[in-house]
């Protein structure tokens, strides 16, 4: 699907996305820069991506009429969040290329299937999941191995940004937490002592070719990504290599097409580098890859566009060390909870700042409003700028 082309009926080449959040918005920007028209399906008339797209179909994700409109207006369709109903992707795939496929999205929607997939694929790279047990019945709950505690109970479905999770120290707390989740299917994971967290983002094309970014380090606060650090040599080379091989294997194993992010823990196993544990995957661009828009010659959203349209996948090159700070709604409130405007005047005077706001008008605590990427000639300078920016915004 070539950008700028027009079909026999006179329609311009249009790319569609399920979901209108910030990831959809950055996808739309990347697609439009190449000359594509865009269509967004999202029920919220004020969705960040809907506001900037040529077409915005305002219906639910399973709405037959909305899906028909999306399919008829687009040459190819992608998704910006993993909780779009797999059935809807399946229906779209009957008439248009949909990437990633419904099967891959279904795996990412369910932690039980995701862990089974990791065991079958990442194992070849010597990377395992955290020790875990599936909890779908009271019998399974009563018979969990004692060494999984203390652990984290996670709902199999619909968890994100630390939601649908409870830390549990013993069987009584586990039972209470499971009841709190209305006895939905869950996994209990052993609580691991994390040295660090990192993620790898790759893009895989229709022909199986894979390109990607070097691993970036991520710091989460209260389950939400807060800071991503990415620069050459940030990770021991052998560890970076293992993370990349595991990610490629995870993608290859299911013939994945599109952008894929895999999150890892680095845990202390007595070795100098530490061991990698695979945590979860996102079948789309990821918050930890936002720095690629400002620090790389090709961004994760560019790759999403290229992969879905069947264009060549360029191997990205990072030209600047980068630190990304997520901007949550919290910074639009002062200590007393009163609304305030962040001091952009001072922040944007710092060299190497790249501000991205998502067009959300209502700031709420914990809501992702935007991000700030800092780039520079060397990581020491970038770190110093990031500290100053964080201080001004705090």
Among 161, 173, 273, 330, binds ligand ADP (CB under 6 A): 161
Q: Does 220 bind ligand ADP (CB under 6 A)?
A: yes
Task: Sort 44 into a burial class: Cβ within 10 Å, 0-12 / 13-18 / 19+.
Answer: middle
Q: Does 226 bind ligand ADP (CB under 6 A)?
A: no
Considering only the stretches 69-77, 139-147, 160-168, 342-350, report the one whose residues sit in contact with ligand ADP under the rule CB under 6 A.
Answer: 160-168
Alpha carbon of residue 198 to chain centroid:
12
- Of 280 and 294, which CB lies nearer to ligand ADP in the complex structure? 280
Pairing of strands 368-375, 258-267: unpaired
Alpha carbon distance 88, 99 (integer Å)? 13
DSSP assignment of 227-248, as one string? EEEE-TTSS-HHHHHHHHHHHH
In three-state secondary structure terms, 111 is: helix
**Nearest distance in Å: CB 10, ligand ADP:** 43
- Of 80 and 263, which CB lies nearer to ligand ADP in the complex structure? 263
- Of 159 and 215, which CB lies nearer to ligand ADP in the complex structure? 159
The residue assigned the tokens 């779009």 is 84
Q: Does 113 bind ligand ADP (CB under 6 A)?
A: no
Is 220 assigned to a binding site?
Answer: yes
Q: Does 197 bind ligand ADP (CB under 6 A)?
A: yes
Q: Does 191 bind ligand ADP (CB under 6 A)?
A: yes
- Are 251 and 108 in contact by the 8 Å Cβ rule? The answer is no
**Nearest distance in Å: CB 323, ligand ADP:** 18
- Are 283 and 263 in contact by the 8 Å Cβ rule? The answer is no
Alpha carbon distance 250, 108 (integer Å)? 11
Pairing of strands 128-129, 76-79: unpaired
Is 160 assigned to a binding site?
Answer: yes
CB atoms within 10 A of CB 187: 24
**Nearest distance in Å: CB 151, ligand ADP:** 7
Alpha carbon of residue 177 to chain centroid:
26
Among 19, 159, 316, 321, binds ligand ADP (CB under 6 A): 159
Q: Does 227 bind ligand ADP (CB under 6 A)?
A: no
**Nearest distance in Å: CB 5, ligand ADP:** 38
Can you say which residues are annotated as belonging to the binding site?
Answer: 111, 154, 159-165, 189-192, 197, 220, 279-280
Which residues contact ligand ADP (rule: CB under 6 A)?
130, 152, 154, 159-162, 189-192, 194, 197, 220, 223, 263, 279-280
């Amino acid at each position: 699907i070539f950008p700028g082309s027009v079909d026999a009926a006179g329609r311009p080449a249009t790319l569609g996305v399920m979901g209108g959040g910030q990831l959809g918005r950055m996808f739309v920007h990347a697609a439009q820069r190449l000359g594509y028209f865009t269509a967004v399906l999202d029920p919220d008339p004020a969705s960040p991506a809907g506001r900037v797209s040529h077409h915005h179909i305002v219906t639910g994700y399973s709405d037959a009429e909305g899906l028909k409109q999306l399919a008829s207006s687009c040459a190819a369709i992608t998704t910006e969040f993993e909780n779009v109903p797999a059935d809807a992707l399946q229906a779209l795939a009957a008439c248009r290329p949909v990437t990633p496929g419904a099967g891959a999205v279904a795996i990412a929607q369910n932690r039980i299937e995701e862990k089974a997939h990791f065991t079958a694929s990442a194992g070849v790279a010597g990377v395992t999941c955290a020790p875990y047990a599936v909890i779908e019945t009271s019998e399974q709950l009563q018979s969990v191995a004692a060494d999984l505690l203390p652990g984290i109970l996670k709902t199999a479905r619909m968890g994100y940004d630390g939601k649908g999770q409870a830390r549990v120290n013993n069987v009584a707390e586990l039972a209470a937490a499971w009841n709190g989740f209305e006895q939905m299917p869950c996994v209990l994971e052993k609580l691991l002592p994390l040295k660090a967290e990192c993620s790898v983002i790759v893009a895989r094309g229709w022909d199986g070719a894979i390109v990607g970014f070097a691993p970036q380090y991520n710091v989460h606060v209260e389950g939400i990504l807060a800071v991503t650090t990415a620069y050459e040599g940030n990770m021991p080379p052998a560890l970076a290599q293992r993370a990349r091989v595991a990610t490629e294997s995870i993608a290859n194993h299911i013939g994945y097409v599109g952008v894929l992010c895999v999150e890892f823990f680095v845990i202390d196993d007595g070795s100098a580098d530490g061991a990698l544990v695979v945590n979860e995957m996102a079948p789309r661009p990821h918050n930890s890859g936002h720095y690629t828009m400002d620090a790389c010659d090709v961004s994760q959203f560019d790759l999403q566009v290229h992969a879905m349209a069947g264009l060549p996948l360029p191997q990205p090159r990072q030209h600047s060390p980068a630190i990304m700070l997520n901007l949550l709604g919290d910074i639009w409130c002062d200590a007393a909870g009163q609304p305030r405007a962040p001091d952009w005047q001072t922040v944007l005077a710092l060299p190497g700042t790249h501000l991205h706001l998502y067009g959300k008008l209502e700031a709420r605590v914990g809501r992702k409003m935007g991000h700030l990427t800092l780039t520079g000639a060397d990581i020491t300078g970038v770190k110093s700028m990031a500290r100053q920016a964080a201080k001004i915004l705090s």
